[in-house]
Structure 1
Amino acid sequence: MITLHDVTLTFPDGDRLITAVDRVTLRGENGVVTGITGPSGSGKSSILALAATLIRPDAGRVLIGDGADAIDAARLSRTEATALRRERIGIVFQQSNLLPSLTAREQLRVMAELGGGSRARRSAVRAQADELLEEVGLADHADRRPHQLSGGQRQRVAIARALVHDPDVLLVDEPTSALDQERGAEIMRLIARLTHERDTATLLVTHDLVHRDALDALVTVVDGRIARAPARVE
């Protein structure tokens, strides 16, 4: 579970401050895909960056987990936030950002070496690589490099890579923006299936509501504020 509680984020703009996120409260439940939509520049990606601990809010809390065990990421140092991100948060960006020289399998296995960890943990991550590639339908493409994959296939590798540490939270930014409608629908269905099967709390930013049937809940952001509270998608 992830909870953004009364978070505010500002940026300097000359002599004044621009409020990108204005006292937003939002919860991502386990096993639920919560879509975040709104016009361009409304603050959607800033909310996702706060959830990812990539930036720190001016005020408010970013809680990873639930109850007494929840960690307030807004209070962590940069080193602590990096460790939390590595262990408990998976991120999928608009572009797949795959390393050109690595195969699909290696894209996942390299995550085992980032940040150290025990030998057993690194071994478990490496072993899970092939399982995840099979889950996203790319078992037969494990030895292919990015230039040998389609856009949809590259995005599938990116999703598998984000899940390789079995995170509590999955954050996805415009996963269909570079794909045609058919491939976009496939990616959205894949994210929904993996969220439900793995009981992950997923926040997904999208401007394209053609695929809203893959979402479990939807929240609308306008001018940095929640304009429409999360509602179940029928």
Structure 2
Amino acid sequence: MITLDDVTLTFPDGERRVTAVDHVSLTARPGVVTGITGPSGSGKSSLLAVAATLIRPDSGRVLIGGSAGSGGSHAGDGAVSGAVDAAVLSRDDATALRRERIGIVFQQSNLLPSLTAREQVLVMAHLGGGHRAAVTRARVDELLDAVGLSGHGDKRPAQLSGGQRQRVAIARALVHDPDVLLVDEPTSALDQERGAAIMDLIARLTHERGTATMLVTHDMVHRAVLDELVTIVDGRLTDGAPAGVAVRAA
């Protein structure tokens, strides 16, 4: 589980500061895909970066793991037992937490051109050290099969389609069985058919593995695969789909 509790993030802009995330409270529960939508510049990616421990917020808590009472996506009183507050960790400790408990899928697959699909996943495991260094080729092939790439393990990025490259990125993010999966606009570089297949894949893996998934998207054509949906406008959570968010019939 991941809970953002009253998180605020600002950036310097000359002599003043611009608020990118404004007192946001949000929980993604295990086995649930929580979608985050909003117009361009609304703070979606900034919110995800805070959740990923890539940026420390000005204030608020980023609670990874633990358990809380049942309820919707909006955090209640912030009471989460057994969780780690990533917002107060040192940079090294936050990096270690991210490697062990958080999987991240970016807009672009960011694969290394010289490595095969199998090697992309193995390298990520070995970089983490510890028990992850023992990840075997068989385990990686199981992951590639889970994302629909059985038989493609020896192919390099140039030999894969855009959708297949994104599937490799998803397998790479899941190699250490993270508690939390954070996904930023995974369909932005794909056509509608391939985008739908990627969204279906993320939803299926979330439900099967019990991962707490936060997924940023601007395109409501994929709304059906999101278990929960929140909207952010000018850094604040709001109700309803704002202007600038694409809503199309499937």
User: Which TM class, normalised by the smaller chain length?
Assistant: over 0.9
- What percent identity do the matched residue pairs reach? 78
The corresponding residue for 2:48 is: 48
- Runs of 4 or more above 2 Å deviation: 124-127
Cα distance in 1 for residues equivalent to 2:89 and 2:136? 25
Give the aligned CA root-mean-square deviation in angstroms.
Answer: 1.1
Residues 177-225 of structure 1: CA distance to partner in whole angstroms, max 9, x if unpaired? 0000000000000000000000000000000010111100000000000
Contact persistence 2:9–2:21 (CA under 8 A): yes
Contact 1:112 1:126 in 2 (8 A): no
Unpaired stretches in structure 1, ≥5 consecutive residues? 230-234
Q: Does 1:137 align with 2:120?
A: no
For 1:126 and 1:117, how far apart are their aligned partners in 2?
Answer: 17
Cα contact 1:111–1:125 (8 A) shared by 2: no
Q: Which residue of 2 aligns with 1:11?
A: 11
**1:207 is matched with which residue?**
218
Asked if the contact 1:42/1:222 (under 8 Å) is kept, the reply is yes
**Gap change, CA 1:127 and 1:84, over 3 Å in 2:** farther
d(CA) in 1 for partners of 2:50, 2:136: 26
SS in 2 for 1:54: coil
Unaligned runs of 5+ in 2: 67-79, 241-250
**TM-score (normalised: structure 1):** 0.95
1:54-65 pair list within 5 angstroms: 54-65=54-65
The offset of 1:140, in angstroms, is 1.1
Range that drifts further, 99-108 or 66-75: 66-75
* Cα displacement (A) at 1:123: 1.7
1:30 equivalent in structure 2 = 30
CA distance in 2, matches of 1:100, 1:152: 16
* Alignment partner, residue 236 of structure 2: 225
Distance 2:194 2:150 in 1: 18
| Partner secondary structure for residue 45 of structure 1 | helix
Write 1 or 2 for the structure with the bigger share of helix: 1
Distance 2:239 2:91 in 1: 32
1:90-145 deviations in Å (ceiling 9; x for gaps):
00000000000000000000112214214xx4223554211000001101111000
- Residue type of the partner of 1:204? L
Aligned amino acid, residue 99 of structure 1:
L
Q: Which moved more, 1:123-132 or 1:59-68?
A: 123-132
Do the aligned residues in 2 keep the contact of 1:125 with 1:164 (CA within 8 Å)? no
Q: Distance in 2 between matches of 1:190 and 1:169?
A: 16
Query: What residue is the counterpart of 1:106 in the other structure?
Result: 119
Using the size of structure 2 for normalisation, the TM-score is 0.89
Assess, with a 3 A threshold, how the Cα gap between structure 1 residues 4 and 125 changes in structure 2: closer, same or farther. farther
**In structure 1, how many angstroms separate the alpha carbons of the residues matched to 2:151 and 2:180?**
28
After the TM superposition, which residues 61-100 of structure 1 pair with which residues of structure 2 at under 5 Å, given as runs?
61-66=61-66, 67-100=80-113
Structure-2 residue corresponding to 1:165: 176
1:19: Cα distance to partner?
0.3
